[in-house]
Amino acid sequence: MSSQFPVSNPGPYQPPGQGGFQPPPPASHPLKIPAIILIVLSSLWLLYGIVNFIYSMMTGMPPNLGNQGNAAAQQLGFYAAIIMLPIINLGVLLGSIMMLKRKAYPLAMAGAFLALVPICGPCFVLGIPFGIWCLVLLFQADVKNSFS
C-alpha cells in the first residue's frame, strides 16, 4: 500500500523533530518592543499636535486664555507650545525608528530622552516608562555595540 507520490510535508501530528510545529524564533533585539510602542505613541501624539496646530491657526486663541493678565505673553506661550508639541514628538518618532533599525545611536538616545518630557512627550505620561525602558537598554554595552 505504498503511495506513488512522496510526502514532502509530514503534517503537524508527527513526533518532535519530524516536522510539525516549530517554536517561533526569539525576539530579534531587546529594543524592538519599546521602540515600536514609542513609535505608536509618538505617531498618535504627533497627529494630535498637527490637528491641534491647524485648529489653533484657524480659530485663534482659546477664549479662556484671552481675558487673563498679559494677553500678548499668553498668546506667545500658547503658540510656542502648539509649535513645540509636533516638533518634540517628531524627534521621539525619528529616535524610535533609529532604535528599531539600530542606526544613529545619538538620535536614538535623544528620542528616548525626549519621550521623558511629561508635558510634550508622547501621550503625556505614557511615554515616560517606555522612554526609561529604552534608556536602560540603550546604556547596555551589547545594545550600544549593535548600532552601526
pLDDT tens for the 148 residues of the chain, in order: 555 655 555 556 655 555 555 555 555 788 899 999 999 999 998 888 888 888 887 887 665 655 666 777 777 887 888 888 888 889 999 999 999 999 999 999 999 999 998 877 777 788 899 999 999 999 999 889 888 7
Q: What pLDDT score does 135 carry? A: 94
Phi, psi of 87 (to 5 degrees): -65, -45
| Predicted local confidence at residue 137, as pLDDT | 93
CA nearest neighbour of 114 among 137, 94, 91: 91
Cα–Cα distance measured from residue 49 to residue 63, given in angstroms and rounded to the nearest whole number: 19
Q: What is the pLDDT of residue 111?
A: 94
| Inter-CA distances, 143 with 28, 34, 56, Å | 12, 13, 42
